[in-house]
Amino acid sequence: MKIGIPKEVYPGEQRVAATPDTAKRLQKLGFDVLVETNAGCGANFNDDAYTAAQCQIVPDAATLWTEADIVLKVRPPQLHPDACKHEVDLLHQGSRLISFIWPAQNGDLLQKLGSRQATVLAMDAIPRISRAQKLDALSSMANLAGYRAVIEAANHFGRFFNGQITAAGKVPPAKVMIIGVGVAGLAAIGTAKGLGAIVRAFDTRLVVKEQVESLGAEFLELNFAEDGSGEGGYAKVMSDEFIKAEMALFAEQAKEVDIIITTALIPGKKAPVLITQEMVESMKEGSVIVDLAAEQGGNCACTHPGEVYRYKGVTIVGLTDLPSRMAQQASQLYGTNLYHLLEDMGGAKNFQVNLEDEVVRGALVVHSGEITYPPPKVEKKVEVAATKSSKSEDKVKEPIPVLATAPVSPVPSTAKGGSNVIWLLLVGVALVGIGISAPPEFLSHFIVFVLACFIGWQVIWNVKPALHTPLMSVTNAISGIIILGGMLQISGTSNLSTTILGAIAILVGTINISGGFLVTQRMLKMFQR
């Protein structure tokens, strides 16, 4: 089978549906890859790179669309300026197309694709389930958009993001508010915190509070019992009372923060207006608003989609091509998403549109000319006690019976408890023996040793695993003190038992220090490329 990678004709679009790297991976699935000339130039992939990856360069779009069995695109099909035809008309009868389609907004496009008897999968309709995370192109692009939004804000902001104390004076850190904590919002939070800003975030879904706080940001919360979690992880439309309180919060924050980044979108609906004109006018001179929902109308009332301009001292960034401004990285991520989809669909040898596959069925918007959007809702089946039934595809497996030969009496708990008592008695006898035979100086040191072991065990046991690595740095310092104490005990006494304990302390402390450094080094290597 042949896969076609056309050059995107949407104005300003720099992404491409396959990079030389992902093209090689597609070839391993058995596909022949055809690439239109200069298709990857906007993402810094020239024709020579595709030729080196064993791809066939096709001189024009008409030839590529005609020869390809599967066409991979980024933007939905539209009028081709060079061919003077709609890209759907270039698609041969019965062919397949995988691209962003936005079926809820492009009903006419679905009708046009259906007239070509095409089979179309929309990458924006991939279900938000765990198994489909590797195919989730929306998350891939949103991640880039959130990162780029902070970079654009920093470019238009006239100050440092992080606070500094210099010889010329103190510079306060920038205050950033992020509205909407989806993939884009989380990426923006991480980037802004990495640059040293004070970050606040708001979302109607209370489940994201821990994620926000784990990134070091402050979660702005309303005293409402209402939760905004909708289907597929998206937010839902809130009540009028909640929206009123929400807008009051934004109005208060707008007067204080320096940068606002909005990411709020509801699938199939116009972007809600969250930052009013009055809020913009209340912001400080030099503030910045980056509206990631600009393509759907914008979350800010003053946003001009596709433009960057100043409104009464506030720079409003309404760019709609943020992922395209990182075309090389975006193309690599999107191409990988497409590769995983084609791999799950069987590759070239076993390629099929499996309607029983929840992921494929969710993304399928046109099948052999028939419009299949929206997909049917998947009803969750509740399994009850298994019973024997006729052989069918939905048959519930019977539980495996447990064969009991004879009643087994439970093992009395005193067995384990008895062994513990024995150990305690032995330890007690040993301590009494040491107390009778050892000198008073040894006893005072021994009591401190026992208490230190107990307290140390309690401290280490109650520390979260995530803090074990920094804890090793502290214990290394303590172990150094122990080693010095052991050396003093060895050199300053002739008592055999004290000398033995001092030597053990030196040995254990040395092991702890060397082990601490070794484990810390291995942990740090995990974060190196």
Q: Residue 119 carries which side chain, given as an amino acid letter?
A: T
Strands (E), 111-158: 119-122
**Cα–Cα distance between 297 and 77 in angstroms, integer?**
21
Nearest Cα to 159, choosing from 167, 149, 148, 170? 170
Helix axes 496-525, 440-461, angle to 10 degrees: 20
> Could you give the count of Cα atoms lying within 13 Å of 142 in the half-sphere of its Cβ?
18
Is residue 413 annotated as a catalytic residue, yes or no?
Answer: no
Q: How far, CA to CA in Å, does 135 sit from each of 15, 403, 411?
A: 17, 45, 52
136 is catalytic: yes
Of 234, 311, 325, 497, which one is the catalytic site residue?
A: 234
Q: Contact at 8 Å (CB) between 426 and 418?
A: no
Q: What is the distance between the alpha carbons of residues 30 and 337, in angstroms, rounded to a whole number? A: 17
Neighbours of 69 (CB within 10 A): 17
Strands 79-80, 85-86: parallel, antiparallel or unpaired by DSSP? antiparallel
The yes-or-no answer on residue 133 being catalytic is: yes
Is position 128 annotated as part of the catalytic site?
yes
Question: What's the rounded Cα separation, in Å, for the pair 46 and 119?
Answer: 30
Distance between first and last Cα of the chain:
36
Q: What is the C-alpha R_g of the chain?
A: 32
CB 126 within 8 Å of CB 140: no
How crowded is residue 375: how many other Cβ atoms within 10 Å of its Cβ?
Answer: 16
Residue 234, CA atoms < 13 Å, CB-side half-sphere: 17
Q: Pull the structure tokens for residue 470.
A: 């920094």
Three-state SS string over 278-300 comes to: HHHHHCCCCCEEEECCHHHCCCE
The answer to whether the CB of 371 falls within 8 A of the CB of 114 is yes
**Which of 139, 287, 479, 489 is labelled catalytic?**
139
Helix axes 496-525, 468-492, angle to 10 degrees: 160
The one catalytic residue in 124, 136, 258, 321 is 136
Phi/psi at 310 (5° precision): -105, 135
Give the C-alpha separation, 195 to 151, whole Å. 10
What is the Cα–Cα distance from 305 to 296, expressed in whole angstroms?
8
The answer to whether the CB of 77 falls within 8 A of the CB of 88 is yes
- Active-site residue (options: 32, 89, 117, 128): 128
Give the closest residue to 200 by CA, choosing from 210, 213, 183, 187.
213
Q: How far apart are CA 297 and CA 270, in angstroms?
A: 6
Active site residues: 128, 133, 136, 139, 234
